[in-house]
Amino acid sequence: MRNDAAGWVLMEAVLLTFIVLTVAAAIGIFMRTALVQEHAAARMEAAFLAREQLSVWEAALDQGQPPRSGVTEVRTNNRTYQIETSVTRAEIFYDVHLRLSWQVLGREEDVEYVRRLRQHGRTNP
């Protein structure tokens, strides 16, 4: 009787260990997926902010207002983005360099964008 019970206790211990390891692995996978999703969302939002800022400057340049270098902060979706802008003029072009930086879960991330802008001339009909 004692040998039969010892076998069942061992089987139960192995099965319980397997269940605990499976749950721990599932939680780890879930946490990594959530972390990757948070980083991807922040990077995509930075891309949209850069696109918006560059489009605004392009429209302003067509109105005669050249882009300017500087640092601004934009807060959206409980995240603060710092936008560093440097503008270099080359003949009729403006080379605009944007560097966006932000923090996700205590980790600093950044991305850079470059666009060459030019004032578009108006044609008279």
Q: What is the pLDDT of residues 61-79, one digit of tens each?
A: 988 898 899 999 999 988 9
pTM of the model: 0.73
Question: At 123, is the pLDDT very low, low, confident or very high (cuts 50, 70, 90)?
Answer: low
- pLDDT of 89 higher than 80: yes
pLDDT band at 11 (very low <50, low <70, confident <90, very high): confident
CB 100 within 8 A of CB 45: no
H-run or E-run covering 2: helix 2-62
| Rounded Cα distance, 42 and 103, in Å | 9
